[in-house]
Every structure is written in structure tokens, then in C-alpha cells.
């Protein structure tokens, strides 16, 4: 059908938007439809949303990793809490540095004390967003291993990702500062271990940023709802993504009330249509799609596929925004 949402086959397809717009459900519905459309493609749906909403969407426990989601042998899922993941990493750094300085003898006590305190402060003062992007390094590793044809990414509320992409130099500078302190103790085994992990983290950050800004490999699908506040938030999101060279090429407006004879529904749909018209005017270079509000909770295979089938084209791509 002309108005169907295209089953994008990029290596990474990111569904992002503010909280509460249905992006997790959208990501799950798209992943399921893509998995069923081509059984030969191995797919992964990956969530960095600590709410672990994928389990709710599929109606089954996902956890850290689940193979054969919703009875599809070619669809796997992972849920990672970036905050917890990075807190575990920081705890390793604390333990390593404490062991490192406890093992030192012969150097100036004053200098060792200063370096220990400086390194502790560095561990605590990690740049905002580095936890999210470091967790996304798992995706880069999976692609390098050639385990999946496509990875569908359900992000935490988009500010996390944008905040990091706006400050990659800050994150890398934090790592370099840490490394400079460690170089003073490069002959100590513990220092070498920490340094190796920091080097790996630095490489991971650079790979993820390169991946997310590669239009040939990555596509960002925005998700919004037909409300004025969501419109303005999505405009801000699109501008930030453009500046970061991660353009939003498709936008799904979620939750349109079906047209029927109910007077309340008609009135609400009329207001929603006015907002959708504003979306059209503000997003002239973006492919717009709408999804109907469902009469029941969107959980499980049947509901997800039914939801995806309502994704109708609102506007074809125009030449300029």
C-alpha cells in the first residue's frame, strides 16, 4: 500500500522522542513487522530506557537478553539500564584506583594522596550522557561481530542522547585527564588495567558517534503525539538533531482518535487534525506518518502488528523544510 510505513533496512533505526509519546511501543511494533517481513534477517531490538518497557510491549519478560522474541527466531531483544551499567563501571574504577594507591610505596605520600583524591573526583564527576553513549557501545560491538542485519533502538527520553552528542569532546577530555593521571603509574599492573578499559571506552564513544551520524547506516524516526506541546518539543528535537548531523527523516504522530460518529471523538479529532496540519507546515522535509489511538492497551503480537498497520502516510517528503 502507498501509505504504509516503509520497513527501513538500515543497520540502526532509532526511535526517539519525549517520554510518554509511545516510542517504545512504536519501536516494538516496527521491529516485529520487520522481523515477520523478512525471516532471513536477524534483528535486535535494544532498549536503553531504564523503565524496561519492552517487556510490557511484547507481553513477555525480556530482561538483559532474550532470544526468539514473540515466537520469532530472527528477533532478539536486550534491555540495558545505562545508569546502573555505568555505576557498575564507576565502582570498578573506584576499586581499581584504591587498590592501585594502596599498593604504592616509595613515592611522595603527598603526591599519592593528591592523585588518589583527584582520581576519585574524576570518577564521580563523569560528564552527563556518557552512561547512555557508553551503553550504546554494546551496539557497535554487535555490529562489528556481524550478529545482526539491523538493530532497532528504543532510547530513553531523547535528551540523554542529545546531551552527549552535544558534548563528545567533554566526555573524551574526561577520559584523557584520567589517562594522564594513570600514566604516572604506568608500570603498575592495576594502572594498566584501568587504562586499557578507558582506551576501550574512548574508542567505543568515537565509534558510536560515527555510527549515529552516518546516514547510510543509521536512521532516526521521531515519535510525537498530536498536541501543541509535543509539536514544539519535536521542533526543538529536530533542530538539535540537525545540528548534530543526525537528521530526523521520518516522524510518527501517535494517538490520533479514529473518525467515528461520537461527538466528543469528532471534536477531539478536529483539534488533533489542526495540530497535524501544523506538523505539516513545520516539517516540510520530513516524511510524516500518523498512528491511530487503540481502544485497548498495545501489548503482545496481535496488538503490536495491529498498531503498525495503522501507520498511514500524512505527507510525502518535500524539497525543503
Each residue of 55-94: pLDDT tens digit? Answer: 999 999 998 889 999 999 999 999 887 777 777 777 877 8
Is residue 266 predicted with pLDDT exceeding 90? no
pLDDT in tens, 1-52: 444 899 987 899 999 888 889 999 999 999 999 999 999 999 999 987 766 6
Q: What is the pLDDT of residue 318?
A: 45
Residue with cell 605520600: 109
Residue 120: pLDDT over 50: yes
Query: What's the confidence (pLDDT) of residue 206?
Result: 82
Determine what percent of the chain is predicted with pLDDT higher than 70.
Answer: 85
Q: 282 or 142: whose pLDDT is higher?
A: 282
For the chain, which residues make up each domain, given as ranges?
12-81+215-315, 83-147+169-211
Closest by Cα among 161, 14, 9 to 82? 161
Cα 152 from Cα 137, distance rounded (Å)? 14
Does the domain at 12-81+215-315 match CATH 3.90.180.10? Answer given as no
Q: Is the confidence at residue 273, as pLDDT, over 90? A: yes
User: What's the confidence (pLDDT) of residue 2?
Assistant: 46
Identify the pLDDT of residue 95: 84
Residue 49: active-site member: yes
Give the residues across from 151 on adjacent strands.
12, 44
Summarised one tens digit per residue, pLDDT across range 142-169 is 888 888 999 998 876 666 667 666 666 7
The proportion of the chain whose per-residue pLDDT surpasses 90, expressed as a percent, equals 36
Q: What is the mean pLDDT of residues 238-258?
A: 89
* Residue 138 pLDDT > 90: no
Residue of 38, 49, 131, 214 with catalytic role: 49
Amino acid at each position: 500500500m502507498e501509505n504504509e510505513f516503509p520497513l527501513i533496512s538500515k543497520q540502526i533505526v532509532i526511535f526517539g522522542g519525549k517520554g510518554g509519546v509511545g516510542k517504545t511501543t512504536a519501536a516494538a511494533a516496527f521491529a516485529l513487522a520487520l522481523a515477520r517481513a523478512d525471516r532471513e534477517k536477524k534483528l535486535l531490538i535494544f532498549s536503553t530506557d531504564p523503565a524496561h518497557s519492552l517487556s510490557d510491549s511484547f507481553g513477555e519478560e525480556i530482561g538483559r537478553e532474550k532470544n526468539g522474541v514473540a515466537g520469532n527466531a530472527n528477533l532478539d531483544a536486550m534491555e540495558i539500564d545505562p545508569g546502573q551499567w555505568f555505576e557498575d563501571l564507576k565502582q570498578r574504577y573506584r576499586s581499581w584506583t584504591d587498590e592501585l594507591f594502596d599498593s604504592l610505596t616509595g613515592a611522595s605520600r603527598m603526591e599519592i594522596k593528591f592523585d588518589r583524591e583527584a582520581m576519585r573526583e574524576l570518577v564521580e564527576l563523569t560528564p552527563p550522557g556518557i552512561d547512555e553513549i557508553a551503553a550504546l557501545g554494546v551496539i557497535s560491538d554487535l555490529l562489528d561481530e556481524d550478529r545482526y542485519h539491523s538493530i532497532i533502538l528504543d532510547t530513553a527520553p531523547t535528551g540523554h542522547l542529545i546531551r552527549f552528542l552535544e558534548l563528545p569532546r567533554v566526555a573524551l577530555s574526561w577520559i584523557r585527564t584520567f589517562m594522564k593521571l594513570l600514566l604516572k603509574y604506568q608500570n603498575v599492573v592495576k594502572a594498566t588495567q584501568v587504562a586499557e578499559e578507558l582506551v576501550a571506552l574512548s574508542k567505543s564513544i568515537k565509534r558510536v558517534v560515527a555510527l549515529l551520524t552516518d546516514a547510510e547506516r543509521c536512521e532516526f524516526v521521531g515519535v510525537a503525539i498530536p498536541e501543541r506541546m509535543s509539536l514544539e518539543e519535536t521542533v526543538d528535537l529536530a533542530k538539535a538533531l540537525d545540528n548534530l548531523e543526525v537528521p530526523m527523516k521520518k516522524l510518527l504522530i501517535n494517538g490520533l482518535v479514529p473518525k467515528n460518529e461520537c461527538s466528543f471523538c469528532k471534536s477531539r479529532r478536529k483539534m488533533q487534525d489542526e495540530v497535524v496540519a501544523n506538523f505539516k507546515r513545520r516539517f516540510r522535509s520530513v516524511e510524516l506518518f500518523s498512528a491511530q489511538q487503540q481502544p485497548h492497551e498495545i501489548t503482545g503480537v496481535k496488538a503490536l502488528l495491529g498498531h503498525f498497520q495503522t501507520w498511514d502516510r500524512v505527507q510525502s517528503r518535500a524539497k525543503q523544510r
